[in-house]
Amino acid sequence: MTESTGPVVSSDAPITSSDPIPTPLASPPDILRCAYMELVVTDLPASRRFYVDVLDLVVTEEDEDAVYLRSLEEFIHHNLVLRRGPVAAVAAFSFRVRSPEELDKAVAFYTELGCRVERRKEGFTQGIGDSVRVTDPLGFPYEFFYDVEHVERLAWRYDLHTPAALVRLDHFNQVTPDVPRAVKFMEDLGFRVTEDIQDQEGTTYAAWMRRKPTVHDTAMTGGDGPRMHHVAFATHEKHNIIAICDKLGALRLSDRIERGPGRHGVSNAFYLYLRDPDGHRVEIYTQDYYTGDPDNPVVTWDVHDNQRRDWWGNPVVPSWYTDASLVLDLDGNPQPVVARTDVSEMAVTIGADGFSYTRTGEELPEWKQGEHKLGHQL
Ligand SMILES: [Fe+2]
């Protein structure tokens, strides 16, 4: 077998926080998976066109103020809510828990942390029953529910599948200034780290964390926050992602493509990043790996490895590092954004000066160094 100087593999995530949120005595709720995101959009018809006519998500229900969408293999009422509102933002990152009793645990867990907690027996959205919403210690609006309306799983309805079919909600991605602090809190909530990006000085730039046995249900990305970096839907195959690019081109909507398509280093998934009419970022993602064993290894990438974000070494556009969506408090007001004080990933990965590498101990070829400056790519 050929030797590879890839990422470091360990049994536990080597991330510690110097400013930890205290671990509650109360047990966390048993979370199954990321279930849906509630997005506030400023032009509902435009957003509906993007998510329904372009991305082919399925409308479960809609009214004057909201559209409830699901992916083709989903059996719960929705994976995405588009709600009309004055400021583009995220109203909820929603997770399904294992049983109705877990909601009592969610209330106790977040109450002990001093968070604002609101429970509604009738739910906060159509199709969902008893639910708990909180503003978590990191400033994010999280929701937990078990009770939900079942709808037809359209997996076998190939008459409805298009070349670009989105089959599952895969994950969320959150922007937070202090990644180790966020990771420690999420571990208290029952999440485990699958992969992370660090440097030799001990700075952590991002971490991918899971409940379901895939690479992640959410990731913590270092930056000014709390903000939402993206919501990701899965396709079955890589060719479905190419089909989305072709469709966007045919519709003269190629400017919706922000980054990719490509192969991630982290997660090993094939990816594409799009921006919706409000600028909310959506990732199309496929073919990461199984992580369900209790001793699943943790993968740590060096921030200077230019294959970590794109396995083929393609540069990351600056907007991908800097732009993200606001998140709301439980009254619907945007949460204040706190600046990251740790060094930013974008600042340390300028390739032309030798900070990035493909092979340890070697600089990029001369002809490739310039591309990190041409077009302002990093
Ligand atoms: Fe992602």
Model confidence over 298-352: pLDDT tens digits? 999 999 888 899 999 888 888 999 999 999 999 999 999 999 999 888 888 754 3
**CA 141 to centroid of ligand 1, rounded, Å:** 19
**CA 214 to centroid of ligand 1, rounded, Å:** 12
**CA 204 to centroid of ligand 1, rounded, Å:** 17
d(CA 158, CA 155): 7
Locate all alpha helices (DSSP H) within 115-216, ordered by sequence.
179-188
**CA 171 to centroid of ligand 1, rounded, Å:** 7
**CA 285 to centroid of ligand 1, rounded, Å:** 7
pLDDT for 244 beyond 70 = yes
How many CA atoms, within 13 angstroms, populate the side-chain half-sphere of residue 275? 15
**CA 254 to centroid of ligand 1, rounded, Å:** 20
Compute φ and ψ for 201, nearest 5 degrees: -85, -5
d(CA 81, CA 65): 10
Compute φ and ψ for 156, nearest 5 degrees: -90, -5
Confidence band of 152 (pLDDT split at 50, 70, 90): very high
**CA 119 to centroid of ligand 1, rounded, Å:** 29
SS3 107: helix
SS3 250: helix
Domains of the chain in start order, with CATH, are 28-150+163-376 (3.10.180.10)
| 12 vs 131 pLDDT, higher one | 131
Confidence band of 369 (pLDDT split at 50, 70, 90): low
Q: Looking at residue 352, what is its pLDDT?
A: 39
**CA 289 to centroid of ligand 1, rounded, Å:** 14
d(CA 195, CA 269): 13
d(CA 118, CA 143): 9
Q: Looking at residue 347, what is its pLDDT?
A: 80
Q: Which helix (H) or strand (E) holds 321?
A: helix 318-322
**CA 268 to centroid of ligand 1, rounded, Å:** 11
Q: By C-alpha distance, which of 172, 110, 105, 171 is closest to 135?
A: 110
**CA 367 to centroid of ligand 1, rounded, Å:** 30
pLDDT single digits (tens) 103-136: 999 999 999 999 999 999 999 999 999 999 999 9
d(CA 283, CA 362): 32
**CA 172 to centroid of ligand 1, rounded, Å:** 7
